[in-house]
């Protein structure tokens, strides 16, 4: 940055170099936007000078100089207007992996760092992908309703039949950590596994560079790729129709990756058989057209939602915030804090 003095990252001592706003005699160094942190972790952040606020609170208020850390999550994010409220911001700590809802041009222009909580939710998200696949194939939701409706009247009742996973083909969109964990589980179910991504990997699964071709060859298509502009709506009408009237789409990644309007149309017309969704295009608002489709099962973005994983994620987030104020390396940086951002 022209005209800025280059410094190494500072080593903070208690209160040193921290310029903060004071409200009601309480120093605010951290603003917590996410509402899903465990209460004990919120208390820890408050003890470090944090305050929990909603997006509406931030939008309605003025600038908050002195706030150096913003805690958010992939659902809440931090757009350009939000970031503008914090002129002294140095770090966005994200409770989750995805950072596509954080305004990257602002982050890069101002030298703001980003830390997330990777490596903790892989197994749980992969478990949920398999749970959705199984629930769809074995009609768990409608069969539960079948019993509740009093229709299971005799042992010989003709209960609707489901579908087996054994010997079925599953294509995974994105073979990162989560995609690989899903592939491992699917293989254990004796499914044939293929994957699509930007490059082939040294794995025992079939690489498919053409997503439409992969959809045509599979019974299940599981979306596990990262979000962002480069993957927006890559699962489009052509892909969905290639998956076909007996095919199932499973999405545990980002709603933006699937063309939701095309998904609704394909399900309604029978060009796609089933969908099992943990994520949606406009969360938490879910399309009314999806809500009542009998061939759709849904969960409310619960991929990492186990007690154990959410606590581990929260503790890692706190470690990142603590490291920032100590001036030590962040445990899990995504975007490093620019050296010139420390103008203390």
Residues that are catalytic? 254, 283, 301
Query: How far is Cα 90 from Cα 66, in angstroms, rounded to an integer?
Result: 10
What is the torsion angle, in degrees rounded to the nearest 10, for the CA atoms of residue 212, residue 128, residue 36 and residue 100? -20
139: left (phi over 0), alpha (psi -120 to 50) or beta: left
CB 88 within 8 A of CB 68: yes
Alpha-helical runs (H) found in the chain: 39-47, 55-60, 80-84, 104-110, 122-137, 140-148, 177-188, 211-216, 237-243, 260-269, 288-291, 307-326
Query: How far is Cα 241 from Cα 263, in angstroms, rounded to an integer?
Result: 9
CB 121 within 8 A of CB 144: no
Sign of CA dihedral 24, 28, 31, 32: negative
Q: 341, exposed or middle or buried, with CB in 10 Å at 0-12, 13-18, 19+? A: buried
CB 68 within 8 A of CB 30: yes
CB 11 within 8 A of CB 329: no
Query: How far is Cα 50 from Cα 122, in angstroms, rounded to an integer?
Result: 29
CB 179 within 8 A of CB 201: no
Query: How far is Cα 139 from Cα 117, in angstroms, rounded to an integer?
Result: 34
């Amino acid at each position: 940055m022209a005209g800025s003095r280059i410094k190494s990252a500072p080593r903070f001592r208690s209160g040193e170099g921290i310029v903060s706003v004071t409200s009601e005699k309480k120093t605010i160094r951290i603003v917590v936007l996410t509402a899903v942190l465990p209460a004990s972790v919120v208390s820890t952040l408050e003890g470090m000078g944090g305050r929990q606020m909603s997006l509406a609170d931030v939008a309605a208020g003025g600038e908050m100089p002195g706030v150096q850390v913003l805690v958010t999550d992939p659902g809440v994010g931090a757009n350009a207007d939000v970031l503008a409220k914090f002129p002294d911001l140095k770090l966005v700590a994200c409770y989750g992996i995805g950072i596509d809802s954080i305004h990257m041009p602002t982050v890069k222009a101002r030298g703001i760092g980003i830390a997330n909580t990777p490596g903790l939710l892989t197994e749980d998200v992969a478990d949920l992908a398999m749970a959705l696949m199984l629930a769809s194939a074995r009609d768990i939701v409608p069969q539960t309703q079948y019993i509740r409706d009093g229709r299971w009247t005799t042992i010989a009742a003709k209960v609707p039949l489901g579908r087996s996973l054994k010997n079925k083909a599953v294509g995974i969109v994105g073979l990162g950590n989560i995609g690989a964990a899903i592939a491992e589980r699917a293989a254990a179910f004796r499914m044939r596994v293929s994957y699509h991504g930007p490059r082939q990997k040294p794995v025992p699964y079939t690489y498919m560079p053409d997503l439409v071709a992969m959809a045509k060859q599979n019974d299940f298509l599981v979306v596990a790729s990262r979000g962002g502009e480069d993957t927006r709506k890559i699962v489009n009408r052509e892909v969905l129709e290639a998956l076909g009237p007996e095919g199932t789409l499973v999405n545990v990644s980002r709603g933006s990756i699937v063309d939701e309007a095309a998904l609704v149309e394909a399900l309604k017309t029978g060009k796609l058989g089933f969908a099992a969704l943990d994520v949606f295009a406009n969360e938490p608002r879910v399309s009314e057209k999806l809500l009542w489709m009998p061939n759709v099962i849904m969960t409310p973005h619960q991929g990492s939602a186990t007690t154990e994983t959410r606590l581990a994620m929260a503790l890692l987030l706190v470690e990142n915030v603590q490291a920032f104020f100590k001036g030590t390396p962040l445990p899990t940086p995504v975007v490093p804090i620019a050296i010139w951002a420390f103008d203390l």
